[in-house]
Structure 1
Amino acid sequence: MTLSLWLSLLGASTLISFTPGAGAINTMTNSLNSGFKRSIWGILGQQAALLVHVVVVAAGVGLLVSRSPMFFTGIRYAGAAYLVYLGVRLILAKPQSPDEIDMRGQEPAFSMFRRGLWVNLLNPKAIVFFLAFTPQFIRLDQPALGQYAVFITTIVIVDILVMWFFFAAAAKSFSRFTATERGQKILNMTFGTLFIFVAALLAFIH
């Protein structure tokens, strides 16, 4: 991959990562509930999903998904349903007492990783997006493996940096709200509603 092409990939990846979505909301929620440092586990889960998407597209399955309305619709609604579930769970979550707040961050790392994985994995539009995005940076007259390695490494590193040092860090500014039950209710309602809003976009705007 030439330097100019890689710089184009870097710029595009950065813009895409800064676009708010379910992954950003999940990252901010993890940062609030489990702390800035431990939010990395959810971010890594989201990156694992990106790897799966790229492999799927590289294998040609993405083309099948994009051309099969029934398959695409099924995954789309499954993804929307999962986001609604996360949103409703947040909205109905019981506020924590001061003692419970001091014990935050005890959610297992694997649980956070798994949730991040499913948030990004159950998004068929990501497959279609990569289907359109990937060919712009892969040259057929050059070895594919090296190009895909540079492609996915760039996307993953950029997304980790943006998610952790922008969205997770931004959530720290809301941490004062978690000190009171009222503040927790407001935050849970806000982020829960955002999850449901993104689910609606995923389900009805296509």
Structure 2
Amino acid sequence: MTPEILLLYVPACFALNMAPGPNNLLSVSNASRFGFGPACRAGVGRIVAFAIMIAIAASGLAVILHTAAFAFTAIKIAGAIYLFVLAWQLWNAPVFFAPQGLNAETMPTHNLWRMIRQEFWIAAGNPKAILIFTAFLPQFINTQQPVAFQFFILGLLFLLLEWVAIGAYAYMGAYLGKWFAQPGRKRLFNRVCAVLLGGAGLGLLAAVRE
């Protein structure tokens, strides 16, 4: 793997990381409700899901999603249903005032594991993600060199850049959380996010194998 390949890979990869999607939208919503820190820590769930997908792609098992229509359909339906459930929960989420001076360290963290699970299942329930790893990463692999090591390096870079994206979207959400000081604005924001998540679910149902 040459420096030239990495110079091509990193910006293209970061563009994928920063692209708006259900997980990044969830980071914005979580940060606006619970703070920057909890939203970033919840991203662990997404990172674990993506790491598993990268490992599957590297092992060659991703061919199942390319060849088995049933597997692709089952995963995308499960993912869409989960997005619909999450959208419903966000639509009906309680709105509360944050006391002056409340920050990420003092906000309640009892929902952290639920947030981590949400991040994981949204990422894992999108078959397009593993298709991205299957179609995108191999473009930067030199078959004349050890493939497994190259997959490891490219996958690690992807996950590191994903953390940057998580932080960026969480910061955006935390800023919006401060701006939406009134319960009405918070409720509107939650419901806009709910509509967008529901739309993502519909988009997932409409997804077809390429």
TM-score, with normalisation over the residues of structure 1?
A: 0.91
TM-score, with normalisation over the residues of structure 2?
A: 0.90
Q: For 1:9-56, what per-residue CA distance to the aligned partner results, in whole angstroms no more than 9, with x for missing partners?
A: 101111111210011111111111211122112222111111111111
Q: Using the TM superposition, give the Cα deviation of residue 177 of structure 1 relative to its aligned residue in structure 2, in angstroms.
A: 4.9
Which runs of structure 2 are paired with 1:190-201 in the superposition (5 Å)? 190-201=192-203
Indicate if the aligned counterparts of 1:78 and 1:122 stay in contact, CA closer than 8 A. Answer: yes
Aligned equivalent of 1:66: 66
Indicate if the aligned counterparts of 1:65 and 1:71 stay in contact, CA closer than 8 A. Answer: yes
Q: Does 2:123 correspond to 1:120? A: yes
The SS at the match of 2:65 is helix
The unaligned stretches of length 5 or more in structure 2 are: none
Give, as a single letter, the amino acid of the residue that structure 2 aligns with 1:14.
F
When structure 1 is superposed on structure 2, of 191-200 and 104-113 the one drifting more is 104-113
Tell me which protein shows more helix as a share of its residues: 1
- In structure 2, what is the Cα distance between the partners aligned to 1:98 and 1:148? 44
- In structure 1, what is the Cα distance between the partners aligned to 2:132 and 2:202? 18
Give, as a single letter, the amino acid of the residue that structure 2 aligns with 1:109.
L
1:133 to 102, 115, 136: 136
Aligned equivalent of 1:107: 110
- In structure 2, what is the Cα distance between the partners aligned to 1:108 and 1:8? 39
Distance 1:89 1:193, change over 3 A: same
Q: Using the TM superposition, give the Cα deviation of residue 6 of structure 1 relative to its aligned residue in structure 2, in angstroms.
A: 1.0
Q: Using the TM superposition, give the Cα deviation of residue 145 of structure 1 relative to its aligned residue in structure 2, in angstroms.
A: 3.0
Give, as a single letter, the amino acid of the residue that structure 2 aligns with 1:45.
G
Q: Which runs of 4+ in 1 moved over 4 A?
A: none
- Aligned residue pairs total 204
- In structure 2, what is the Cα distance between the partners aligned to 1:174 and 1:40? 15
2:156 to 141, 153, 156: 153
Give, as a single letter, the amino acid of the residue that structure 2 aligns with 1:16.
L
Q: Using the TM superposition, give the Cα deviation of residue 200 of structure 1 relative to its aligned residue in structure 2, in angstroms.
A: 0.8
Which runs of structure 2 are paired with 1:1-206 in the superposition (5 Å)? 1-97=1-97, 104-164=107-167, 166-206=168-208
Query: Root-mean-square deviation (CA), in Å?
Result: 1.9
Q: Using the TM superposition, give the Cα deviation of residue 178 of structure 1 relative to its aligned residue in structure 2, in angstroms.
A: 4.3
The unaligned stretches of length 5 or more in structure 1 are: none
